[in-house]
Amino acid sequence: MTDIIQLLPDHVANQIAAGEVVQRPASVVKELLENAIDAGATQVTLLIKDAGKTLVQVTDNGSGMSMTDARLCFERHATSKIKSAEDLFNLHTKGFRGEALASIAAIAHVELKTRTEASEVGTKITIEGSEVTSQEAAVVPKGTTISVKNLFYNIPARRNFLKSNPVETRHIIDEFHRVALAHPQVAFIMLNNGSDVFNLPLSNSRQRIVNIFGNKTNEKLVPVEESTEIVQVKGFVLKPQFAKKGRGEQFFFVNDRFIKSPYLHHAVSSAFEGLFKDGMQPGYFLFLEVDTKSIDINIHPTKTEIKFDDEHAIYAMLRATVKHSLGQFSIAPVLDFNKDSGFDTPYEYSKKSPVAPSIEVDRNFNPFQKEAKQGNIAFPYKREKSPAWESLYVGLKQDVGIASSDLDNIEFESEEVTGRLFEAEAEATGQITFQLHNKYIISPIKSGMMVIHQHLAHQRVLYEELLKNITVQEAVSQQLLFPLLLQFTKQDIEIIKKVREQLEHTGFIFTKMEAEQLEISGIPVSIIESKAESVLEQLINDIKEEVPDAGYSQNDLLAKSMAKSMAVKTGTALNRAEQEHLVNQLFACKEPSVSPNNKPILVTFDVTDFDKKFM
C-alpha cells in the first residue's frame, strides 16, 4: 500500500492557519494594532478603505525592526515575545503566537516599511500570498508601517462570505475601541476612506472613554477601584439609569488585554440587582490586574478568552467591588449600622451655641374669673347662657313628621337576580374579550376560544402601518411645543443620518443633527414624547447588530425595530374597548397569525379540548 500522508506546503498551512486567526478585516486590525503597542509606540494611525477589504494600514512610531527581523517576522511561529514554554505563563505582551503576520501574508498583498532608531536606512518588503516578491533598503521614518491590501484575494469563497461595508466597518471600530481603551497613554488616529473617524490624544482612562463615546458619557461614570492580593480592579461602571437593552458599552480588560467573559459579566449584573428593569444591561469599563501565572490566555486563537485559576474568588471580588462603589457614590442604598444620620446636627445649626429655652407664665391668670387680664389687655368677652336644650326640638313633629301613608310610595334600588354570570349588555356586543394576567387577550370564537398575545399582536399592527408609511411616505407627525434635545455618540449619530429619510417618513422631524446631539421637533403620532429617545436607542442597537444593506431590507428592519419599541408592553392593563380595537386591527393585517419576527401571535382551543379535560 502506498503512503498517503504527506506534509502540507507552507502556503497551504498558512492559509489554514489564517482561517483561525483572520476571520475578517477587523482581525487584521486587531493584530496590527497590538503589534504596534508591543513595539512601544506612542502614536498609532489606522487607515482603512472599503471597510478594510481594499486596504488596512497601521503606522506607528515604535522601536521598528532590523532587516533580518523584518524578513523573519513573516515566518510561521516566529516571535520575539517567548523563548520557552514557561514564558507562556509570564506574558506581558499582546502577540506571542507568531501566527498573525504569517497568516495575513498568506491571504493578502502585504507591504512592510520599518526602521530602527539606530539605523540610517530602513527596510521595505513586499509579499504576495506568502511569497516575498521584493526586499530592499528604503528611506522611511522610525517605526513600522504595514499595509495589507486585497484581503482574501486568493480565497474568493472567504471574500464572498464577508458582510457589507457598514457591518465590517462596525467590527473594525469595535476592535479599535478595545485597543484604544486599554492604552490611554498611546495616541490613536483612525481614518476611514480619507475622513477622520477618531483622533484620540494622550490621556487618562476616564478622558479616553469620554473622547470615544462622547462628552455626555462623563456624567454617567461611577469610579470603581479595589486592590487585593488576588486581583486589582479599576475602572468605571455606568449609572443604572443609563442601562440599555443592548450590550454596547461593556468592556473587560485583564492585564490590558480585552476579554469576553459571561461569568464575570454575571458578577457585575448581580451587583446591579434591583437597580434597573429586567432585560436591561449594565455598562462598564473594568480593568483587572492579576498575576500572569494565575491565568492562561492561550486557549483561543484570537486570545479573547482567559482561563483563571480561581474564578470564584475573582467573581466575588468583582461583585463586591462594584456593589461597594454604587453605595459609596449614593447610587444604591447602603446599610451602615455604626451611624444613624437621624442624630446628626443639621448643617445650619452646627456652628451655633445651644440656647436654654425660656418659659413665660402668667401667675395672675384665673380661668374662673368673668374677665381675665393679661398684662394691659382685657378680654371683655363673656359666655352667654345658651337656651335650654328642649327648645331645639320645639315644633319638630309638626314640621318634619312623616305620615305613615307616605311609606307606601318609597322606592328602593335593587338588582334583579337573574342567575347569570355576566351582564346582558356584554352579551349584546357580539364579541366579548377578557384579559389574562395583563398579557393575553381571550376571545371566544364559534369553535372554541382564541388566545392572543397582546404585545406581539400590537407589533404586527404597528409593523405593517410603519412599513406602509415608509413606502408611501404619508406619515402623520405631531409637533412638539418644545423641541427634544437628545444626546448620542458620534457613531450613533452617523447611524441615524443613514436612516434619516426613512425616519422622517414615519413621522420624525429632525431640525438639527450635530456631532453628539439631536434636536427633534416632531414625532410619530403613536409615540409618547418620553419614549422617543428609547425608540431611537433600540433602533440604533438593532442596526448595529444587523446593519442591512440599503433598500427594502433597511426599511423592514427599521419598521420591525420601531414596532417592537412602540408596541404595548406585557403587564399593561387594557379596557374592553382597547382589547376589541386591538383584535379588530390585528385581523385587518395581511399576516395576523405571526409577528414581524415570525413568532406565533394567537393560539386557538377547540371546545372538544375542554370537554376532554372533564371526562
| d(C-alpha 345, C-alpha 75), whole Å | 73
The Cβ-side half-sphere exposure at 549, using a 13 Å CA radius, reads: 3
**Given pLDDT bands bounded at 50, 70 and 90, which one contains residue 426?**
very low
pLDDT at 558: 83
292 or 426: which leads in pLDDT: 292
Strand partners, 195: 192
- Does the pLDDT at position 98 exceed 80? no
- According to the model, what pLDDT value does residue 91 have? 60
Residue 190 has pLDDT above 90, yes or no: yes
What is the per-residue pLDDT for 428?
47
- What is the predicted pLDDT for the residue at 386? 58
Segment 204-227 shows an average pLDDT of 90
Per-residue model confidence (pLDDT) at position 487: 83
- Contact indicator for 477, 524 with CB cutoff of 8 Å: yes
For the segment 440-445, the average pLDDT, to the nearest whole number, is 88
The hierarchical CATH code for the domain 206-328 is 3.30.230.10
Among 143-147, 278-282, 366-370, 445-449, the minimum mean pLDDT is found in 366-370
Q: Determine the length of the chain.
A: 615
The full set of domain ranges for the chain reads 10-200, 206-328, 440-603
Looking at the chain, the whole-number percentage of residues with pLDDT higher than 70 is: 79
Q: Quick check: 244 and 541 in contact, CB under 8 A? A: yes
Average pLDDT over residues 335-359: 67
DSSP string, 183-218: -TTSEEEEEETTEEEEEE-S--HHHHHHHHH-GGGG
In the chain the first and final C-alpha atoms are separated, in Å, by 73
- How many whole angstroms separate alpha carbon 142 and alpha carbon 568? 61
Which pLDDT belongs to residue 49?
94
**What is the gyration radius of the CA atoms in the chain, in angstroms?**
37
Scan for cell 382597547, then name that residue: 578
* d(C-alpha 253, C-alpha 176), whole Å: 14
pLDDT one-digit tens code per residue, 278-293 = 778 889 999 999 888 8
For the residues 411-434, what does the mean pLDDT come to? 54
pLDDT tens for 100-117 read: 888 888 889 999 999 999
Instruction: Inform me whether the pLDDT recorded for 537 exceeds 60.
Output: yes
**Mean pLDDT for all residues in the chain:** 81
More confident: 352 or 214 = 214
Mean pLDDT of the region 359-369: 81
Q: Which CATH superfamily, name and number, covers 440-603?
A: MutL, C-terminal domain, regulatory subdomain (3.30.1370.100)
pLDDT surpassing 80 at residue 299: no
Whether the per-residue pLDDT at 333 is higher than 70: the answer is no
- Beta-strand runs (E) in 257-371: 257-259, 284-289, 295-296, 307-308
Q: Minimum mean pLDDT among 4-18, 25-39, 188-202: which range?
A: 4-18
| Residue 600: DSSP 8-state | B
Q: What confidence category does residue 421 fall into, taking pLDDT thresholds of 50, 70 and 90?
A: very low
pLDDT of residue 425: 45
Does 90 have pLDDT greater than 90? no
Q: Which of 230-234, 243-247, 259-263 has the lowest mean pLDDT?
A: 243-247
In 341-385 the beta strands, taken as DSSP E runs, fall at 372-374, 377-379
Please tell me the distance from the alpha carbon of residue 554 to that of residue 341, in angstroms, as a whole number. Answer: 56
Closest CA to 108 of 227, 208, 24: 24
- 495's CB contacts (< 8 A; 6+ apart) are 540, 543, 544
CA 64 – CA 123 distance, rounded (Å): 10
What whole-number distance in Å separates Cα of residue 163 and Cα of residue 140? 35
**What is the full DSSP assignment across 439-457?**
TEEEEEETTEEEEEEHHHH
Q: Where is pLDDT greater, at 340 or 280?
A: 280
Residue 58's pLDDT band, with cuts at 50, 70 and 90, is very high
pLDDT at 604 over 80: yes
Long-range contacts from 448-451, C-beta under 8 angstroms, 24+ separation:
448/604, 448/605, 448/606, 448/607, 448/608, 448/609, 448/610, 449/604, 449/605, 450/602, 450/603, 450/604, 450/605, 451/602, 451/603, 451/604, 451/605
579 vs 81: which has the higher pLDDT: 579
CA 115 to chain centre: 43
Q: How confident is the model at residue 396 (pLDDT cuts 50, 70, 90)?
A: low
With bands split at pLDDT 50, 70 and 90, how would you rate the model's confidence at 342? low
| 483 has pLDDT over 60 | yes
> Span 10-200: which CATH code?
3.30.565.10
3-state class of 501 per DSSP?
Answer: helix
pLDDT at residue 423 in the model: 47
* pLDDT score of 93: 67
Spell out the SS3 assignment of 85-147: HHHHHCCCCCCCCCCHHHHHHHCCEEEEEEECCCCCCEEEEEEECCEEEEEEEECCCCEEEEE
On the question of pLDDT at 55 being above 70, the answer is yes
Range name among 151-165, 253-267, 412-426, 554-568 with the lowest pLDDT average: 412-426
Q: Which residue has the higher pLDDT, 26 or 308?
A: 26
Q: What are phi and psi of 392, to 5 degrees?
A: -70, -25
What pLDDT sits at residue 97?
A: 57
Mean of the pLDDT values across residues 39-63?
A: 93
pTM above 0.85, yes or no: no
Residue 63 cell numbers, joined: 522601536
Predicted confidence at residue 424, as pLDDT, reads 46
For residue 585, the tally of other CB atoms under 10 A from its CB is 17
